[in-house]
Amino acid sequence: MTSHTIIWYRLWLLWATVTLLTGTLPLSNFVGHPDWNNLHWFITTDDVRYRRFFLDLALNIGLYIPWGFLYARHALITGLRNPSQGILFALLFSGTIEFYQIFCVNRFPSLLDIANNTGGAIIGVVAAKRFAHVSFSRFIRAR
pLDDT per position as a tens digit, 117-142: 999 999 999 999 998 877 656 655 65
**Chain mean pLDDT for the chain:** 88
72 has pLDDT over 90 = yes
105 has pLDDT over 70 = yes
Nearest to 13 by CA among 97, 84, 114, 89: 89
Cα three-residue angle 106-114-103, rounded to 5 degrees: 35
- Measured CA to CA, the distance from residue 122 to residue 18 in angstroms comes to 19
DSSP result, the chain: --HHHHHHHHHHHHHHHHHHHHHH--GGGB-SS--GGG-B-S--HHHHTSHHHHHHHHHHHHHHHHHHHHHHHHHHHH-SS-TTHHHHHHHHHHHHHHHHHHTBTT---BHHHHHHHHHHHHHHHHHHHHTTTS-HHHHHHT-
Instruction: State the pLDDT at residue 141.
Output: 61
77-81, 110-114, 138-142: range with lowest mean pLDDT: 138-142
Query: Taking the model in full, what pTM does it have?
Result: 0.86
Across 2-19, average pLDDT? 89
Instruction: State the pLDDT at residue 137.
Output: 61
Instruction: State the pLDDT at residue 139.
Output: 58
Instruction: State the pLDDT at residue 131.
Output: 87
Across 13-39, average pLDDT? 91
Across 45-53, average pLDDT? 79
Instruction: State the pLDDT at residue 6.
Output: 86
Instruction: State the pLDDT at residue 49.
Output: 78
